[in-house]
Amino acid sequence: MNDVPATAATDGPSYDFRTAEPRWQQAWDAAGCFRVADVPADGKPKYYVLEMFPYPSGKIHMGHVRNYTLGDVVARYKRARGYAVLHPMGWDAFGLPAENAARERGVHPAEWTRANIAAMRTELQRMGLSIDWSREFATCEPEYYGHQQKLFLDFLRAGLVERKESWVNWDPVDGTVLANEQVIDGRGWRSGATVEKRQLSQWFFRITEYAPELLAALDGLDRWPERVRTMQARWIGRSEGARVRFPLVAPLGTETPAEIEVFTTRPDTLFGMSFVALAPEHPVSAAVASGNPAATAFVAQCRSMGTSEAVIESAEKQGFDTGLRVGHPLMPGQTFPVWIANFVLMEYGTGAIFGCPAGDQRDLDFARKYGLDTPAVVLPPGEVAEGFVVGAHAYDGPGTMINSGFLDGLDTDAARRTAIEALERESAGTGVVNWRMRDWGVSRQRYWGCPIPVIHCAACGAVPVPDADLPVRLPEDVRFDQSGNPLDHHPTWKHVACPRCGGAAERETDTCDTFVDSSWYFTRFCSPGADVPVVRQAADQWLPVDQYIGGIEHAILHLLYSRFFMRGMQATGQVGVAEPFAGLFTQGMVTHESYKGADGRWLYPEEVERQPDGTARHVETQEPVTVGRIEAMSKSKRNTVDPAAIIARFGADTARWFILSDNPPDRDIEWTESGVAGASRFIQRAHRLAAGVARVPCPPSMPGVGSASMGPAAAALRRATHRAIAAVTEALETFAFNLAVARLYELASALGEAERVGAEDGLAWARHEAVATMARLLAPMAPHLAEEIGWMLDPGRTSLICDLPWPEADPDLLTVETVTLAVQVMGKLRATVALPPGAEAAAAYAAAEADPNVQRALEGRRVVKRIHVPDRIVNFVVAG
RNA sequence: GCGGGCGUGGUGAAAUGGUAGACACGCCAGACUUAGGAUCUGGUGGCGCAAGCCGUGGGGGUUCAAGUCCCUUCGCCCGCACCA
């Protein structure tokens, strides 16, 4: 069969993504390609792909484009590999920005949120994501948060929720509690008011119950980044040590404890004690302050100091001598002073420490400043006990105990154990494991959140809302024209009858931290329409999430809370597994140059044009522009590029292709005009190559590889095609999407070369095979183009590319005719030789030695050793 | 301070201990043209006419062979942090 000569590639229409992309999106939708059942019966293995769901701010940003493109590549690839793939999308729709919009623009949070969702849904759908949109939900709708209230009550009944007093950051102007992150230099981030510490009654999830398990199970999360596991482990913060009680020599009265309990990881150094230091918020500090203006002033001063990094760094150790003294359980008759110190944290341990200046630099600085003792107790290896004194630096390493009574002569570890035994014998302390993590306070004095389903009754206390009365709906008619929580100000909403006694009672007006909403949404996706939080069968089918993808910024809180929530849901029988996310991938950020105008204001990229000489000018004014750092896109720096504009101008496939190319997905990527243009050119080129092939009908039969009926160019193209299958598959399996892109560029180049060969036996068939394969390999990354190419090759087809199985490489075609071996002399490259694959060592040496360059390098030298790595390298080791 | 990561061409980056720089951007030269955000071809780590020499932040080591493994040092980035 004769091939029709290839026509020039430059004619014919260019790829019109503007019509093609919506066409294929509709085709996928009409065919229901990406829908799966809650409990499928098709026997396929399951794969649950999830990207962190977006907050509906109104527009998608490039971080979303990257996140959802990465997830879509995985979802489409796994689907082609024969998995039943669950790939849903929803909205993390509660939160403060909606309330701010209400205050600033008078639009109701619900209205604002729903409009944003509608706008963002359209933008996401234009990306051509393989999402089962029938599962979509928003956390702000009662159909979601009502079930969350049910979970809250289940957790309450299971003892995983409790109400307790706690210190909070209170913004007196906004009338609300602030998270630590919302307190900036001691002031509320919105109001600017000085934040007060208040003790409030709050609802807590008892996440500390699971601290040991949340820590231990990290080891099993072998498809999580090491970094994230380390961050979580540090957050949970397990440390072994002892609690030690020091009796007050003269107790302050019956209201105040008669002893001070400290936590220490170094009970071995108890004989090195020089003082006790209390946190300013410690009850004993408060008791001292109540009768002592100087102490009161000191405590107030500590409280006013910010907790920001810079402040801590520069803050000097400061203390206040209370005049109190404590006894020592292991040193009868001795007493030590009790100080209040600004460096002791109420949040960690017991809020009190014993100071051992010899073993802790902080304690040493403090002791030196206030003239306290600094007894040495640990002798570092190689030091002599006689005359050993504590110098400028505390020693916290291992050593031998001195000046420590019955511990003398023991090494540090043995002393630790012996000291704990002694403490326990004296009933003065006990060995304990201390955890840094604290319970999760979820009460927020906000309107736009999930109402906590509890009713406060003067007679019955906090009474759960009966299940039959769920959901507790947010009232729609609320006002945002005064500070504080609108739910509190509502004239009627909170006034209800007590479900237990029928008396007058009040609803809880606090709403849940929005982290609660995102702690179980992935379970809801398994059965989003159910009238219970989750259908157990559906949850068992899909969970855990096989691949979760999102930003590193959620490495701790969101992921830890979700891990806790799954355990709670397991304990209450909702789900069967404990870990929500079997695989986690944290993507890098999308960055861009930043620009500053002559007036010092940030400029958007579209306001700036680069000059040929590398400088930049304002598009309109032509004033010079300063090119700033390349950093994460952010509204404040205005270095953002709008995905909707990019998709309108270049198409979704171009945006997807660019965001996948160049950089590995876990690294930051710089968005550049030239990069996008390059991606766009490839999309057009691939289309053009396919069009050139589609113009010639595909011969019906496949010529045998290497047979006389197949020419060398055809054979080479077939090899390139099958190498591409193997290489792209490997790249997609390992999240090396940038390499998958590179391998497809190579396949396109091979097609281009074949195009120039002209007529050759078998080439037409090989070109069809190459293009058809390229379409399928492109499909996870540039799905619209893939469908378009598939359609061009076979306009009458009824199947979609996205429904085809993943191609398999023919092993016979992965072999090569010759391999190039590097020939080294003493490790230096001297030549390369071409040999058939699998050539024996003798043949390799012979070929190498025949090379003139090698001969010159070996001349006059004695070969003492020859190395042969098959198909790789020959190395001659010479003497002289 | 603690923890993690990263240093490779003009740029983004590749590289099971085995030819450093795949692929792309940019640049250079050429071809073509219905001048397009084209397309196609060739070239492009440095020095050198060449043979060749040098080259993965610096220094040392292991090895026939090191970007890769080990030690050390410098620089940058991210996270956490008065954690007892």
- Measured to protein CB atoms, the chain B nucleotides within 7 Å are 3-5, 12-16, 18-20, 22-26, 37-41, 51-54, 64-66, 78-84
Region A328-342: what's the mean pLDDT?
A: 94
**More confident of the two residues A5 and A672:** A672
Determine the nucleotide nearest to A672 by Cα–C1' distance: B25
Q: In this predicted structure, what is the pLDDT of residue A172? A: 81
CA nearest to nucleotide B20 C1': residue? A829
pLDDT at A5 over 60: no
Q: In this predicted structure, what is the pLDDT of residue A8? A: 35
Distance measured from the CA of protein residue A168 to the C1' of nucleotide B77, in angstroms: 33
A559-576: pLDDT as tens digits: 999 999 999 999 999 999
A377-425: pLDDT as tens digits: 999 888 888 888 888 888 888 899 999 999 999 999 999 999 999 999 9
Determine the nucleotide nearest to A302 by Cα–C1' distance: B82
Q: Which two tokens stand for residue A200?
A: 């409030």
Distance measured from the CA of protein residue A786 to the C1' of nucleotide B31, in angstroms: 31
Band of pLDDT at residue A429, cut at 50, 70 and 90: very high
Q: Could you tell me the strand order of the sheet in which A238-247 lies?
A: A259-264, A238-247, A429-435
Determine the nucleotide nearest to A752 by Cα–C1' distance: B40
CA nearest to nucleotide B33 C1': residue? A10
pLDDT at A307 over 50: no
- Does the predicted interface ipTM exceed a cut of 0.90? yes
Distance measured from the CA of protein residue A56 to the C1' of nucleotide B16, in angstroms: 45
Q: A108 vs A137, A480, A510, A870, CA distance in Å?
A: 19, 9, 19, 72
A574-610: pLDDT as tens digits: 999 999 999 999 999 999 888 888 888 888 888 888 7
Could you give the dihedral angle defined by the CA atoms of residues A644, A646, A650 and A652, in that order, rounded to the nearest 10 degrees?
-50
SS3 for A466-485 is CHHHCCCCCCCCCCCCCCCC
pLDDT at A139 over 70: yes
Distance measured from the CA of protein residue A494 to the C1' of nucleotide B59, in angstroms: 72
Q: In this predicted structure, what is the pLDDT of residue A524? A: 98
**More confident of the two residues A304 and A648:** A648
Q: In this predicted structure, what is the pLDDT of residue A353? A: 95
Distance measured from the CA of protein residue A612 to the C1' of nucleotide B2, in angstroms: 47
Band of pLDDT at residue A312, cut at 50, 70 and 90: very low
CA nearest to nucleotide B2 C1': residue? A234
Alpha-carbon distance of A264 to A328, in angstroms, equals 14
Q: In this predicted structure, what is the pLDDT of residue A12? A: 45
Alpha-carbon distance of A755 to A695, in angstroms, equals 12
Alpha-carbon distance of A362 to A354, in angstroms, equals 12
CA nearest to nucleotide B82 C1': residue? A343
| DSSP assigned state of A210 | G
pLDDT at A809 over 80: yes
Q: Which two tokens stand for residue A49?
A: 């792909």
- Mean of per-residue pLDDT scores for chain A: 90
pTM: 0.93
**More confident of the two residues A818 and A510:** A510
Q: In this predicted structure, what is the pLDDT of residue A78? A: 98
H or E segment and range at residue A464:
strand A461-464
Residue A197 bridge partners (DSSP): A169
Residue A763's closest CA among A834, A672, A696? A696
A729-764: pLDDT as tens digits: 999 999 999 999 999 999 999 999 998 887 788 888
Determine the nucleotide nearest to A314 by Cα–C1' distance: B82
State the residue for tokens 């400061």. A318
SS3 for A80-96 is HCCCEEECCCCECCCCH
Query: Which long-range contacts (C-beta less than 8 Å, at least 24 apart) are formed by A348-352?
Result: A348/A263, A348/A436, A349/A262, A349/A263, A349/A434, A350/A243, A350/A261, A350/A262, A350/A263, A351/A278, A351/A279, A351/A281, A351/A282, A352/A260, A352/A261, A352/A262, A352/A276, A352/A277, A352/A278, A352/A279, A352/A282, A352/A284
Determine the nucleotide nearest to A875 by Cα–C1' distance: B64
Determine the nucleotide nearest to A830 by Cα–C1' distance: B19
Distance measured from the CA of protein residue A724 to the C1' of nucleotide B50, in angstroms: 39
Determine the nucleotide nearest to A344 by Cα–C1' distance: B82
A221-261: pLDDT as tens digits: 989 998 899 899 999 999 999 999 999 998 777 777 889 99
Band of pLDDT at residue A180, cut at 50, 70 and 90: low
A824-858: pLDDT as tens digits: 998 888 888 989 988 899 999 999 998 888 888 88
CA nearest to nucleotide B6 C1': residue? A667
A618-665: pLDDT as tens digits: 888 888 888 888 888 888 888 899 999 999 999 999 999 999 998 999
